[in-house]
Amino acid sequence: MKILIVTQYFWPEFFIINALSLKLAEQGCEVTVATGKPNYPDGQVFSGYTEEGVQREDWKGLEIIRVPLRTRRAGGGLNLFLNYCSFMISGIRHLPGLLSGRQFDVTIVFAPSPLTSAVPAIFLKSRTKSHLAIWVQDLWPESLSATGFIKNKFILALASLGVRWIYSRADTLLVQSKAFIAPVAKYSKASKIVYYPNSIDDGEIHSSATDELPAELVRDLEGNFCVVFAGNIGKAQSIETLIAAAGRLQHLEKFKLVLVGSGSMSAFVVEEVARLGLTNVVVAGRFPISQMEHIYSRASALIVSLRYEEILSYTIPGKVQAYLASGKPIIACMNGEGARVVLESGAGLACAAEDPNQLAETIEKLYTMPAEFLAEMGRNGRHYFLENFEMAHQAKNLINILASRAGKG
């Protein structure tokens, strides 16, 4: 199967589409990637690249075609808007010529925000004579209003029309969460929608990295009952709920909340821990993905949290799959799909989003459980991961879905 992947984000930026593209190639597909110049998340173009000009690369056997774009710069609404528009316009302008005369069986659009990254693929559809599948990672226009990125009702109405137009041009809409099905169906025929979850390359989770963790962090992890939060430390993750819960658990001997990562709330965490005089919170900082297995393996449990907001309840945070793969018990402080997966898998416990009292009670419940119960939760999670989210398995599943829907079976 010849596959064209259109994505604003790609290696050396870190997104799951990188590993999935390689897995598709391993399954015998001929994969070409059309993308922009790497600059996520810091907004500065990566070394070896420039904003201007077209660039072709070969990465592990994948053909990569890069079109010019304006980087995200320092972020903010205007910079992001210009970044989104630049990839859309540049893709429309350059890709038809760069792919002139070439045909593909399927075009896959990897569509986190912005959904506008699908527009160049729509212009390519008839030229490449391909089946167009959009892998919906974020709900538009709902996420625009929920995040406050756009508040004007007229602009939101225009965005709704744009979403309806984009979905109408797709042949298949792959949704990363079962809870996405109903919202997406408001803008598209239900017959187009197929549940296709995000996945994780098990080989990346179980890396061969041997870099040592800081000795102090190792002592904390190995000498205490540590509940580890890993990833973006931002507003969407309701970090203040975690800190408040830790404040209610200072009576637990050798309990520590370990925060691994960075983000917009990092400074708040440091200030709040100092203000409350918390001795059971460890702010570990950011580590490369290759080191996360060594942190997870030493943790007693892992925690994932989100704010109390309807749109966030529809999604399964990517760290849920990574946590399941690690074989450790999980605490889900969230509503909706992420909590459902944790409970359905038998991998851990869940409590309501943004409720520090419930979270403290849930952590203490896990803390008092016998070791064999915790080990069983970890095994359950690992088994569920292999059945539902392991990337090699999911790559085969994707090929079967697309072959069937594109009439290539």
Summarised one tens digit per residue, pLDDT across range 268-281 is: 999 999 999 999 99
Predicted confidence at residue 115, as pLDDT, reads: 92
Instruction: Quote the domain boundaries for residue 81.
Output: 2-199+390-405
Residues 64, 103, single domain; the answer is yes
Give the pLDDT of residue 105: 96
Please compute the mean of the pLDDT values over residues 360-375 and round it to a whole number.
97
> Which pLDDT does position 409 carry in this prediction?
47
Query: Does one domain contain both 189 and 253?
Result: no
- pLDDT tens for 208-252 read 555 689 999 999 999 999 999 999 898 889 999 999 999 999 999
Query: Do residues 252 and 383 both lie within one domain?
Result: yes
Q: Report the number of distinct structural domains present in the chain.
A: 2
The verdict on 256 and 277 lying in the same domain is: yes
Give the CATH number of the domain where residue 66 resides: 3.40.50.2000
Are 184 and 305 part of one and the same domain? no
**Is 397 found in the same domain as 384?**
no
User: Within this chain, do residues 187 and 157 fall inside the same structural domain, yes or no?
Assistant: yes
Q: What is the pLDDT of residue 155?
A: 83
* Residues 26-56: tens digit of each pLDDT: 999 999 999 999 998 888 999 999 999 999 9
pLDDT band at 205 (very low <50, low <70, confident <90, very high): low
Query: Region 253-273: what's the mean pLDDT?
Result: 94
Same domain, 108 and 159: yes
Shared domain check, 275 and 134: no
Mean of pLDDT over the chain: 93
Q: What's the per-residue H, E or C state across the chain?
A: CEEEEECCCCCCCCCHHHHHHHHHHHCCCEEEEEECCCCCCCCCCCCCCCCCCCEEEEECCEEEEECCCCCCCCCCHHHHHHHHHHHHHHHHHHHHHHCCCCCCCEEEEEECCCHHHHHHHHHHHHHHCCEEEEEECCCCCHHHHHCCCCCCHHHHHHHHHHHHHHHHHCCEEEECCHHHHHHHHCCCCHHHEEECCCCECHHHHCCCCCCCCCHHHHHHHHHCEEEEEECCCCHHHCHHHHHHHHHCCCCCCCEEEEEECCCCCHHHHHHHHHHHCCCCEEEEECCCHHHHHHHHHHCCEEEEECCCCHHHHCCCCHHHHHHHHHCCCEEEECCCHHHHHHHHHCCEEEECCCCHHHHHHHHHHHHCCCHHHHHHHHHHHHHHHHHHCEHHHHHHHHHHHHHHHCCCC
Based on the domain organization, do 54 and 147 belong to the same domain? yes
Same domain, 369 and 259: yes
Q: Among 266-270, 361-365, 380-384, 404-408, where is mean pLDDT lowest?
A: 404-408
Note the pLDDT tens digit of each residue in 292-348. Answer: 999 999 999 999 999 998 888 998 998 999 999 999 999 999 999 999 999 999 999
Residue 208 has a pLDDT of: 54
Q: Does 187 share its domain with 154?
A: yes
